[in-house]
């Protein structure tokens, strides 16, 4: 969005009546799909400052930079965290199974996936948005190269209820994945073991622009997720054997 604004502003500055157009934009009342961008682009096309071919190129470039912007349009947290995130991970790792008492006699809804008839997996997802903005998610969504501050809060983390955590983080143009053994969550400096007063065994973890590098060792490519889950499970077993 920031780059598109700069591109349009550069084109707008070529108009003789640029100030009147800017004034009109500042007074616009937007009703989807008619908004400031529609107004500026149609004005530039009408004045011949922006050709139709240039518009198509600008549009294609915008679509490429915002390939995952539609994910920020999911307003319900549960729809995003469960329906989208779990479905997305299942597409990447088809061998994941939805848990049940048939697969795990002790199962009572405390984790999201079961792998290899042994590994209990919890999925957490968040979206990178401008931490200083009060705009809707789709407006304050950040690109991966943005220097704006962001704050992704992974909530309701219960390390005792699973073996492996898979985190999915979404930017406008990129999706990133981290895979951690349960004990690696509990011992991480960014983990807070008390999310709500009285909730024992449940915490939260904040990933920000100033601490994201501390999770670099756990980041994996999407085509390596299955193996990364199995590797994290082995780390979890080794940790449990030493306690």
| Full 3-state SS string of 32-69 | CCECHHHHHHHHHHHCCCCCHHHHHHHHHHHHHHCCCH
| pLDDT above 70 (res 198) | no
Domain boundary among 10, 35, 65: 65
Does the structure show a pLDDT above 80 at 220? Answer: yes
In this structure, are 127 and 182 located in the same domain?
yes
pLDDT digits (tens, 9 = 90+) for 57-88: 999 988 888 999 999 999 888 899 889 999 99
What gap in Å lies between CA 142 and CA 66, rounded to an integer?
9
**Same domain, residue pair 73 and 183:** yes
Same-domain check for residues 81 and 39: no
Q: Report the distance separating Cα 40 and Cα 211, nearest Å.
A: 39
3-class SS of residue 203: strand
Examine the domain organization and report whether 98 and 209 are in the same domain: yes
Domain containing residue 28: 2-65
What pLDDT sits at residue 219? 97
Using CA atoms, how far apart are residues 228 and 226, in angstroms rounded to an integer? 5
Kindly state whether residues 159 and 200 are assigned to the same domain: yes
Q: Report the largest interatomic distance among the alpha carbons of the chain, rounded to a whole angstrom.
A: 74
Number of domains in the chain: 2
Same domain assignment for residues 148 and 208: yes
CATH of the domain at 198: 3.40.1350
Report the pLDDT value the prediction gives residue 196, as an integer from 0 to 100. Answer: 52
Mean pLDDT of the chain: 90
Task: Look at 24-33, 77-86, 130-139, 182-191 and tell me which has the smallest mean pLDDT.
Answer: 24-33
With 90 as the cut, is the pLDDT of residue 7 above it?
A: no
């Amino acid at each position: 969005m920031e780059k598109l604004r700069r591109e349009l502003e550069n084109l707008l500055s070529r108009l003789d009546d640029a100030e009147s157009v800017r004034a009109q934009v500042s007074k616009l009342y937007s009703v989807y799909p008619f908004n400031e961008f529609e107004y500026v682009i149609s004005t530039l096309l009408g004045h011949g400052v922006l050709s139709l071919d240039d518009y198509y190129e600008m549009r294609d470039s915008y679509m490429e930079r915002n390939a995952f912007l539609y994910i920020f349009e999911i307003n319900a947290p549960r729809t995003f965290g469960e329906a989208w995130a779990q479905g997305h991970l299942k597409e990447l790792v088809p061998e994941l199974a939805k848990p049940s008492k048939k697969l795990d006699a002790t199962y009572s809804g405390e984790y999201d996936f079961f792998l290899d008839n042994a590994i209990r997996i919890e999925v957490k997802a968040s979206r990178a948005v401008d931490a200083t903005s009060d705009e809707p998610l789709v407006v304050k969504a950040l690109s991966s190269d943005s220097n704006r501050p962001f704050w992704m809060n992974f909530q309701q983390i219960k390390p005792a209820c699973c073996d492996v955590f898979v985190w999915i983080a979404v930017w406008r143009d990129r999706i990133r994945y981290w895979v951690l053994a349960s004990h690696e969550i509990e011992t991480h400096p960014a983990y807070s073991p008390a999310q709500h007063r009285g909730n024992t065994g449940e915490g939260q973890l904040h990933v920000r622009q100033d601490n994201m590098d501390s999770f670099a060792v756990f980041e994996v490519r999407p085509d390596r997720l299955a193996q990364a889950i199995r590797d994290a499970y082995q780390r979890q077993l080794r940790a449990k054997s030493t306690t």
